[in-house]
Structure 1
Amino acid sequence: MTPFGRRLRALRAQHGLTLKAMATEIGVSPAYLSALEHGHRGRPNRRFVQQVCRVLGVQRDEADKLARLAALSHPRVTVDTAGLTPEATELANRLAEQIHTMSQDRIDRMLAELRREAPEDVTAGA
């Protein structure tokens, strides 16, 4: 599941919408919406996020948060370390190798550290 998918699912549940009802309102298939919620599709585009906000009546702050979560929700990430230090390249490669075996606690700690470096990040605690 992606950060966007988790938030979308929570908002849909808060509004009492079934997957099928919301998909119909947005103009997508229930299968697509389900795949998006579960992180089996790439990140949604801005138009899709706007449609979600319209259907759910989401206001500006939450809409901005959803757009940021969508940007951070590509399930297959590519990290370009060209021009960076060897340590940056090693970090990216080690993370790619080890993320599947990391405990949730370790992931949470690493993410908290990265979030501390970017306090303007609206996804903290999402």
Structure 2
Amino acid sequence: MTPFGQRMRELREQHGLALKDMAAALHISSAYLSALEHGRKGTPSPMLVRQICGYFGIIWDEAEEMERLAQMSDPRVVVDTSGLHPKATLAANRLAQRIGQMDEAALDRLLALIGPA
């Protein structure tokens, strides 16, 4: 699940909405919405993010946060280390190899170490 997918699911559950009902209201397939929630689809388009915000009545700061979450939710990340120090390539490759084994506490420590986006 991606950060955007998690937030979208939280909103849907808070409003007591079934995935199929939300998908119908947004004129998208429930399969696509489910894949978006579960991180099996890439970053949603800015237009879809705005539709979702409108659907939930999200404005201002919360809408900006949804847009930020969407931008940070591509499940297939590419890290280009060309031209950087060799340790940058080593770090990126080690992270790619081990991220699936990290628990939530380790991920929190990593996020604290690299700081905000």
TM over 0.5: yes
SS of equivalent residue, structure 1 residue 84: coil
Unaligned runs of 5+ in 1: 122-126
**Rounded Cα–Cα distance in structure 2 between residues aligned with 1:26 and 1:88:** 41
Aligned-residue RMSD, C-alpha = 1.1
Q: Does 1:13 align with 2:8?
A: no
Partner of 2:102: 102
Residue 112 of structure 1: how far off its partner (Å): 1.9
Aligned residues with identical type, % of pairs: 53
| Superposition pairs of residues 43-54 of structure 1, within 5 angstroms | 43-54=43-54
What stretches of structure 1 move > 3 A for 4+ residues in a row?
Answer: none
SS of equivalent residue, structure 2 residue 55: helix
| Deviations, residues 57-97 of structure 1 (Å, cap 9, x unaligned) | 10111110010000000111110111111111111011001
SS of equivalent residue, structure 1 residue 111: helix
Size of the aligned set, in residue pairs, is: 117
Partner of 1:34: 34
Partner of 2:58: 58
**Rounded Cα–Cα distance in structure 2 between residues aligned with 1:101 and 1:16:** 33
- Which amino acid counterpart does residue 114 of structure 1 have in structure 2? I
Which TM-score applies when normalising by structure 1? 0.88
Which TM-score applies when normalising by structure 2? 0.94
SS of equivalent residue, structure 1 residue 31: helix
**Rounded Cα–Cα distance in structure 1 between residues aligned with 2:75 and 2:90:** 21
Partner of 1:73: 73
**Rounded Cα–Cα distance in structure 2 between residues aligned with 1:51 and 1:35:** 17
Partner of 1:90: 90
**Rounded Cα–Cα distance in structure 2 between residues aligned with 1:103 and 1:59:** 33
